[in-house]
Amino acid sequence: MINSNENKYTVSEELISKTEFYDIKTQITKALPAIEKYDAIIVKRDNKYIGVVDSRTLYKYIQNSFKIDKKESLEKLIIRAPKITDATTIDDSVYYFYKARIKALPYVKNGKIKGILKRSTMLKILLSLNKFSGLKVENAMTSPAITINKNSNVLQAIKLMREKKINRLVVVNEHENIEGILTSYDLTKNFLKPEERLPEFKTRVFNLSNFRITDFIENNPRTININANLDEAVRALVENNISSLLVMDKNRQVGVLTELDVIISMLSKNTVFRNKIFIIGLDEETYQYEDEIREELNNFINKIEKLNDETVEFISIHLKKIKTKSYEIYVRLGLKKHGIITMNTSGYLFERTFDELLKTLWKEIIKKRDFSKKQFRALSNQHEEI
């Protein structure tokens, strides 16, 4: 059930899923079954809400070493996700999912946490409200999808995921035909329970380069056409309980559509962006640069829109300090004509890293424009020959 108050829809308690509650000092290994069962658990300290631990965060943590220290507590994995209530609007809930980058948000009623609102449930709500009307897969997908050869080993796959800051790879053969999808979940789930490992996993030291990724991939991944309506894609995600779809243009894979891509497409549609610009992660040092960042991004948008028939739908910047004066910057650029472009970089000093990111992003935009022109000319030549 969805509540409606003055044309502002909110989430009712009937749509909330159950979960379990754990103290912050609980060992990760003890909470592991609950995280796998519920997707996310609530963490408290002295019976007060601290944050959420979800399966996505867990898998990323395990992927660093492929083992769990029995002494490590949930404190290592906590995401301080915002709470929602029966008064929180649907649009605000969508924003919170993007900001927290998490699979579920805690739901509070009468001052008490009743459970969690799952991201998959959020997508079902948006479908029921016809929120994806007029949106296409092409304008929401992440492109290009990162590929890896099927003969690669697990160590190579992990390094590529870390390098590109992604959770899934498209597995292809020597002819670039799709063999399947490899996700961080596919890799880590085999290492979650040491007592259930294969004999070769039980050794004190094992080499990840000895394991081929074909032992872990998801064969026959679900696909969606690039020209499909976004609601069709979201329906495929929720009905099949999956988090991503391969996007195809005829027989060629051109990108991937994830739940997070869908969430971002909603943000761009519902005007939660200030002048098409969305920035999160500013700290006490970078906050002073917010106006300068927005001015540079506005100039960058104007530069893009001077290209023929191109329109910027949104640009989001996610900042993360990784050392005293070193930053990691993640950007998603939504273009009406060329879809979504994602990119990340890290470096010393914020200003230098930010400038380098915009230069690299511009090169990628020009690359996409030139490729589109080349395709158009090829099609025109074919028509002339006919």
In this prediction, residue 196 carries a pLDDT of 43
pLDDT at residue 171 in the model? 94
Q: What is the pLDDT of residues 371-386, one digit of tens each?
A: 877 776 766 666 555 5
Range name among 90-94, 288-292, 338-342 with the lowest pLDDT average: 288-292
Element (H, E) at 122: helix 119-128
pLDDT of residue 271: 45
pLDDT of residue 308: 72
Distances in Å between the Cα of 155 and the Cα atoms of 60, 148, 204 are 15, 12, 17
pLDDT in tens, 48-61: 999 999 988 888 77
For the chain, which domains are there?
2-128 (3.10.580.10), 137-262 (3.10.580.10), 273-385 (3.30.160.100)
Query: Pick the residue with more confidence: 147 or 313?
Result: 147
CA angle, residues 184, 188, 193, in degrees to nearest 5: 160
Average pLDDT value for residue range 244-255: 90
- Look at residue 118 and tell me whether its pLDDT is greater than 90: yes
Q: Outline where the chain has alpha helix (H).
A: 28-38, 55-63, 90-100, 119-128, 154-164, 184-188, 230-239, 259-269, 290-305, 350-385
Residue 362 clears pLDDT 90, i.e. is over it: yes
pLDDT at residue 8, rounded to an integer: 67
Mean pLDDT of 153-165: 87
Percent of the chain with pLDDT over 90: 34
Give residue 30's pLDDT band: very low, low, confident or very high (50, 70, 90): very high
Report the distance separating Cα 323 and Cα 353, nearest Å. Answer: 13
**Burial of 22 (C-beta count, 10 Å sphere; 0-12/13-18/19+):** buried
191 confidence band (pLDDT: 50, 70, 90): low
**Mean pLDDT of all residues in the chain?**
84
Give bridge partners of residue 48 from the DSSP assignment: 45
**Mean pLDDT throughout 356-362?**
92
Residue 197's pLDDT is 46
Instruction: Mean pLDDT check: name the lowest of 18-32, 165-179, 189-203.
Output: 189-203
Please say if the pLDDT value at position 343 is more than 90. Answer: no
Instruction: Give the best-scoring range by mean pLDDT among 29-33, 189-193, 194-198, 227-231.
Output: 227-231
Query: What pLDDT shows up at residue 219?
Result: 87
Partners of 52 in the β-ladder: 42, 79
pLDDT of residue 3: 66
Q: Which helix (H) or strand (E) holds 1?
A: none
Q: What is the mean pLDDT of residues 363-368?
A: 88
The angle subtended at Cα 378 by Cα 374 and Cα 379, nearest 5°, is 120
Is the model's pLDDT at 175 over the cut of 80? yes
Q: Is the pTM of this model over 0.85?
A: no
**For residue range 256-314, what is the model confidence (pLDDT) as tens digits?**
999 988 988 877 665 444 567 888 777 656 766 777 788 888 889 989 988 877 888 88
User: How far are the Cα atoms of 9, 21, 32, 353 from residue 18, in angstroms, in the given order?
Assistant: 22, 10, 16, 42
Helix, strand or coil, per DSSP, at residue 342: strand
Q: What is the pLDDT of residue 2?
A: 65
Q: Report pLDDT for 235.
A: 96
More confident residue, 184 or 44: 44
Of the candidate ranges 11-25, 60-74, 301-315, 334-348, the one whose mean pLDDT is the lowest: 60-74
Is pLDDT above 90 for 225?
yes
pLDDT at 318 over 60: yes
Predicted pLDDT at 187: 81
Q: Tell me how crowded residue 165 is: count the other CB atoms within 10 A of its CB.
A: 13
- Residue whose C-alpha is closest to residue 331's, from 282, 291, 279, 286: 279
Residue 6 has pLDDT above 70, yes or no: no
